[in-house]
A and B are shown apart, each in its own frame.
Chain A
C-alpha cells in the first residue's frame, strides 16, 4: 500500500543486494553529566554494537534506566553519541549541526513517541503531512488519505489531537512517521500510555509496516506481549546489550526479564567479565 520512494543520493544501497542492513551501530557510547564537577557521570550507553537487517521488527527491552531511550535517540539522530558510528540505510550519520541531522532524519527515519508529540494546533491531516511540508516535498492528497485510512482514521482528518483518544493519537503519530516512507521507524514505548486494545491496534500497524512495506521497525517496550510481536528482542542492561531472543513469545520474554532484574538487583558484575556480544555485526 505504501509506495516506497526511490532512495535519493549515492548513500542508498545497491538495488537488489538482498537483505541489506537498515541500521548499524558500532561502539556507540553516551555519557551524561560530565559537565558538572559534582554530579556523577552516568554511562547510559556503553559501547553498543548492533546490526539490523532491512525488513526486521526488533524489540528492545531492559530494566528502567538501562539506556533504551538513549539507544533509540542516538540511533535516530535525536541525540548525539559521544563516540561510535551510526549508519542508517547505508549512510553514516554525521555529527554536524542540528540542521544537517534534521535533513538526514527526514529522508530516512520515522519516530513514534510514547507521548505522541502531535502539534496541538494542527488537525489530523495537517499533522500527518507536516514532515512532507517541512521537507518541501509535494503533498499527494491521495497518499495522505491512504496513510490515514491505513491507520483507520480516514474519517477523522479534520479533528484536532485533543478531540482524539490516546490510541487514535498514537495512530496519527504512526501515520506521520510513515508518510515520508522512511527506511527505519523507531518507537519508544509506543503503547506505554494505551489500553490493551489500542495497544494491539498500534502493534498490529507496526507489524504490518514491516511485513507489507518491508520497513525496519525498532521498538522499546516494557511489555512482554508487545515484544512478542517482534521478530527478535534485544536485552539491554546498564547500557550494554546482554542478550537476544529470536521469535520471542510473551512468556519466554517475561521469564528472561525476571532474570535480568534478579541479576542486577543481586549486584551482578557491572563491568567484570565481558559479556558475549549478542549480535554479530
Chain B
C-alpha cells in the first residue's frame, strides 16, 4: 500500500500541489522563527540578545506553530475529502479499510516530509533576515551569528508531519464511517472545538489579571484569540447552517437561479466548507487581535508620558513581523484551500451547466457563496479577536475598547473578502473554460 501511495503521488503530482504548498509554507514559518531559538542558545550570545531572540521565538514559534498546525490540517482534510470517489473505487476493487488508511496517511506523510525538506533553505534564509531585522533595530548585538540547528529543523518537520498525518487519518476514517452508513461521529471535532473555546476563553480572561505585567501581557490574549478562532472554525458548519436558515429565504426569493443553486448547495456542503473557513477565521482573528493590541500598547505608553523602551520597540517590531508573516500565511492558506476546493467542483459546475445554467449563473452562485463564507468567517474571526482585545485593553487602559476605530478591522475584513471572492471567482472562471460535457466525463 505504501508503494501504491508513492505511485499515486508520482502519477498525479498536480493534485498534491495544494497540500505540498501548505506543508512547505507552514514548515518554512516554523523553521524561520524557531531558528532564533537555536541562535539564542549558541555559545557567546549576550543575555539581552538571547532574551530578545527567545521571546520572539517563544511567542511566535508558539502561536505561529499552533496556526500552522490547524491551517495544514484543514488543507489536508479538504484534500482527502476530495478523493472519496477514488477511495470508493479502491474499496470496491478489494482494498481493506486498513490498506486505504495506510495509503492516504502514507501519502500525507510523504508530501508533508517533502514540504518540510523543501522548507529548510527558505527557513534558513528567512531566519537570517529576521535576525538582521532584530540587529538593525538594535535589539540583538551585531556579532550574533545566525544558527539553524536541531530545534528549527525538528520542530518544523514534526509539526508539519503531525498536522498532515493526523488530519489525513481522521479524514479517511470519517470517510469510511460515512460510507458504512453510520452517521459520521464528530466527537473529536466537537470536543476539540469545546476545548479550544474553553482554553481560548480562559487565556483571554487571564488578560484581565495581567494588569501592568509589561508588554508580554499581550501573549495570553493573542493565544486565546487563536484558540477561539480554531474553536469557532470547528463549529463553523453548524454556524454556516444557521446563517443559511436566516438568509436562505431571501436568497432563494431574490437570488434567482444562482441563489437557488447556492442555498441548496451550501446546505449540503456546509461541512466541507469548514476547511475553508478555518484559515479565514484564523486570518481575521489573529490580524485584528494583534493590530489592535499593538495600538492599545502604543497609546498606553504615550498616555503614561513614557518614551518607548527597547523592549517596547522590540515587541512592536515583533508584532508587526508576526502579524505580517502569520497573516500572509493564513491568507495564502485561505487562497490555497479555496482554490483546491473550487477547482474540484468542475464536475458539479458542469452538471449545473448541463441542467441549463449559464456560465454567468454559475459564477454568480460561486460569488454568493463566497460572500456568505466571508460574512461567516469575518464575523467569527472578529468575535475571537474582540475576546482577546477587550481584556488586554481593560488591563492596559481605563476603557473597554481600543480607541483606534474601525479602520483596521475594515481593512482586514476587506482583504479577507477580496481574497475569498477573487480566488473563488477566478478559479471558477478558469474551470468554466472546459466544455461542460468534458467536465462530467472526466471524473468518470
Binding site for B on A (CB under 8 A): 73, 78-79, 98-99, 102-103, 105-106, 111, 113, 115, 117-122, 126-127, 130-131, 133-136, 176, 180
- Which chain A residue shows the least CB distance to B268? A121
Q: Are B355 and A131 in contact (CB under 8 A)?
A: yes
Bound CA–CA A130/B261 (angstroms): 9
- Which chain B residue shows the least CB distance to A139? B260
Q: Are B359 and A121 in contact (CB under 8 A)?
A: no
Bound CA–CA A115/B267 (angstroms): 24
For B437, give its contact among A79, A106, A133 (CB under 8 Å): A79
> What would be 8 A-B contacts, judged by CB atoms less than 8 Å apart?
A78-B437, A98-B353, A99-B360, A117-B440, A119-B348, A121-B264, A130-B355, A131-B356
Per the 8 Å Cβ criterion, residues 237-272 of B in contact with A are: 256-257, 260-261, 264-265, 267-269
Q: Which bracket fits the contact residues of B?
A: 20 to 34
Interface string of B419-444 (1 = CB under 8 A from A): 00000000000000001110010001
- Chain B residues, CB < 8 A from A134: 257, 260-261, 352, 355-358, 361
Q: Are B353 and A102 in contact (CB under 8 A)?
A: yes
Bound CA–CA A137/B442 (angstroms): 31
- Chain B residues, CB < 8 A from A120: 268, 348
Is B351 part of the contact surface with A, judged by Cβ < 8 Å? Answer: yes
Q: How far is the CB of A260 from chain B (nearest CB, A)?
A: 25
Q: Are B351 and A106 in contact (CB under 8 A)?
A: no
- Chain A residues, CB < 8 A from B352: 119, 134
Q: List 16 extra interface pairs beyond A102-B359, A117-B351, CB under 8 A.
A: A99-B359, A106-B356, A111-B354, A113-B354, A117-B350, A117-B354, A117-B355, A117-B440, A119-B355, A121-B348, A133-B256, A133-B257, A134-B257, A134-B357, A135-B356, A136-B256
Bound CA–CA A136/B348 (angstroms): 20
Bound CA–CA A126/B435 (angstroms): 24
Bound CA–CA A154/B353 (angstroms): 26
For B357, give its contact among A73, A102, A117, A127 (CB under 8 Å): A102
Bound CA–CA A126/B440 (angstroms): 20
Q: How far is the CB of B273 from chain A (nearest CB, A)?
A: 12
Known A-B contacts A118-B351, A121-B267; the reply to A102 vs B444 at CB < 8 A is no
Q: How far is the CB of B201 from chain A (nearest CB, A)?
A: 35
Bound CA–CA A79/B437 (angstroms): 8
